[in-house]
Structure 1
C-alpha cells in the first residue's frame, strides 16, 4: 500500500515536469511579444510643425531625436552632447554633423553585430532646439529657444517686432565671426523670402538703432510715431512705405503737414506725396481732414475750395470766378489765424489751409456804389422834403 502511494506521487511529479518542458513559447505559435528592453524613453516630445520636407542635407547634431527600428526592437534616442548615440548591446555611434542617410549607414555598421541590416530603419523624430540672442532695437531683448526651421522674421516676431527707431533695412545676423546684413524691408514689405534666412545655432541677431540726427519721423492719426532712416533720394511716399503705412488700415489720408528742422511748416495734399523730398530731422504728420481755403468778396462763387499747396491767391480767385467788378490784385488781402489781415502778392505769396482770401471790388465799382448810395440818400431826403412841404401847404390852406 505504501509502495503504491509512493509510485503515484512520483508519477504525478513526473507529469508536471514533462508538461512544463512541453509548453510552447509564443514564437512557436507564429507571433512574438514586443521587446521590453528598449521601449521609447519617457521624455515627452512635441510634434514637429515643419514648413515642408526636411532637406536631405540637414546635418544631425546634439539634441536631435532619432527613432530606430532594429528588427523587432524599437529605440527612441537623443543625440548626446558629444554627438553620439548608444545602441544597447551594439555600441556607440558618432553621427553629429552627418545627414540622416549617412547616420543610417553608421548605425547599420554597428547594429549588424546583432541585427539583420535589412531590417534596420532610422528616421528623424524631432529636431534639436538651440538658443539665439536678439538685441538692439526690439521690444524684448534676450535669448530665445528656436529650432533649425526658425527663420529670421519668426525670431523678430517672437521678440515683439522691431521698434520704430530700429533699422529695418539693416538687421545684423552675427554667425561664426561673420556678419550678415539683412534688409527686412524686403522681407516684410516686398515678400522677398530669399532674404528671410534660416537661423543656426549660435546666431546673434542685432537690430541697430537709427541715428536720431539722420532720421525722418512720421506721425499717424492717434499719435503713432515711426522713424525711418533719411535717404536723400526718397520722397515722402517712399518714407510712408518704409514706415509700413501702406500695410496699415487705409484711413483715407487727405493732407500732410511737414515740419522742417528750422520750425517752418508746409502743408500739402496727400496726392502730392510722390513729388516732395524733405531734409533730415523733418516731421511728417498725416491727417484725414480735408483742408480748405475760403474765398469771399467780388467773385462769382464765394465759399471754400480744397487746399492745393502749389496754388497761390490768384489761383483760388480764378477758381472762384472773376467778375467785371473784381478789384485789382494789389487790393487782395488774406485773413489768417487770429483774424490778422495781411496784404499778399497774389502770384508769389504762400497761402495756408484755413486762410480767407478777400477780394474787394475795383475802385471804379466802389466809387459807383458810393455814388449810388449817396444818390439813394438824396432821393430819400428829397422825397421826404416834398412830402413835408405838401403837408405844410395843405395845413395852411385850411
Structure 2
C-alpha cells in the first residue's frame, strides 16, 4: 500500500547512510591538523589523527559527527566537527516503467538501478536518462519509503517549473510509464495529421491547431472526438469547430488521454 505524502521541495538528503568506499571530508573547527579527507575502508572504518579507528559505515553524517565530537573531545575542548560526504557509493536510484529509453540506443530502456556519486536532483537525473519522448511524465511518480511523493514531473521537465524539483535520496524509485495509451491522434482534413502526447488542459481546438489547422476541404462544423470507455466501447462527440472559431468557446471539448480527433472532409 502506498501513502501519498507531500515533502518540502529542495530538502537535502540528510539521512544518507555512509557505506564502504564513500569519501568523507572531516573538519574540526580551529584544529586543521585533525581535519582530513578520507575514504571508508572495506571494513567500514576510517582512521582519524589523534583519535584512531572509527566505525563509519552504517552511520549517517549526523551520527558520525556525534561520534567524532565525543572522541575528539579527549584532545580538543568542546570540538565542533563537520562531516560531509563528498563521494557516495551507497546512493542508488531505481527506475521502473516503459517510458524510459536510452538515448540513441534502441536495444532497451534504462530501467533498473542507477548508482549516483553525489547528491542529485530529480531534474538532473531525468536529464541523464536519455530520450523521454515515449515517457508519460504527467503520470510519472516517485516512491520513497513506500510513500508516493507528490511532485510534477511534467511541469518540471517540460515547463521548467523548478518548484517541482527535489533532491533524490538513496533507494528512491521512479516509475515512468509510456505514453502510448495516452497519445492523441488527429486525423482527417488537417494540414499535418499527427500523434500528440497528452497533457492536461488540451482542447479540441488546441490539437487541431497543433496539427496545422484545417485544410480547405475540411468540414469545420463536423469534427468528431472518438473516446474509448473503460468497458472497451467507443463514444463519439461532435464538435462544431467553425462556431468555436467565431467566439463561442463554451463547447470547446476538453481532450482526454487516448482520444482520436477526426476532421471530416467535404468533396465539394
Where relative contact order (Cα < 8 A, 6+ residues apart) is larger, the structure is: 2
TM-score interval w.r.t. the shorter chain?
0.5 to 0.7
User: Alpha-carbon deviation of 1:198?
Assistant: 1.7
Which of structures 1 and 2 has the bigger CA Rg? Answer: 1
Deviation (angstroms), 1:201 = 0.8
1:87–1:111 Cα contact (<8 Å) kept? no
TM-score (norm 1): 0.42
Count of residues paired in the alignment: 221
Distance verdict in 2 for CA 1:191–1:146, change over 3 Å: same
| Change in 2 beyond 3 A, CA 1:217/1:127 | farther
* Matches of 2:148 and 2:139, distance apart in 1: 11
Q: Deviations over 1:212-261 (max 9, x none)?
A: 3x6423689888743327x7x851356699xxx7xxxxx9x444776755
The aligned counterpart of 2:156 is 187
Deviation at 1:171, TM superposition (A): 0.9
User: CA, structure 1 residues 78+177, in 2 after alignment: closer, same or farther (shift >3 Å)?
Assistant: same
Partner of 2:115: 145
User: Which structure's residues are more often strand, by fraction?
Assistant: 2
Deviation at 1:106, TM superposition (A): 2.6
Q: In the superposition, relative to structure 1, how do residues 170 and 260 fare at CA in structure 2: closer, same or farther (>3 Å)?
A: closer
Q: 1:45 maps to what in 2?
A: none
2:51 to 90, 95, 100: 90
Contact 2:186-2:193 within 8 A present in 1 as well: no
Aligned to 1:174: 143
- Alpha-carbon separation, structure 2, partners of 1:224 and 1:154: 31
Q: Which runs of 5+ in 2 are unaligned?
A: 1-9, 103-109, 227-233
Superposed CA deviations along residues 117-156 of structure 1, whole A, max 9, x for unmatched, are 4787645361424222223211221333325532222222
Tell me which of 244, 260, 266 is aligned to 1:282: 260
Structure showing the higher helix proportion among its residues: 1
In angstroms, what is the RMSD of aligned CA positions? 4.8
Partners of 2:11 and 2:122 in 1: CA distance: 18
Matched, 1:196 2:165: yes
Which whole-Å CA distance do the structure 2 matches of 1:104 and 1:76 have between them?
A: 14
Q: 1:110 to 1:125 in 2, by over 3 A?
A: same
Distance change >3 Å, CA 80–CA 203, structure 1 → 2: farther
Task: Show the counterpart of 2:184.
Answer: 216
2-structure distance, mates of 1:144, 1:56: 17
Find the counterpart in structure 1 of residue 36 from structure 2: 75
- Tell me the residue number matched to 1:124: 84
SS class of match (1:110)? helix
- Whether the 8 Å CA contact 2:204–2:261 is kept in 1: the answer is no
| SS of structure 2 residue aligned to 1:65 | strand
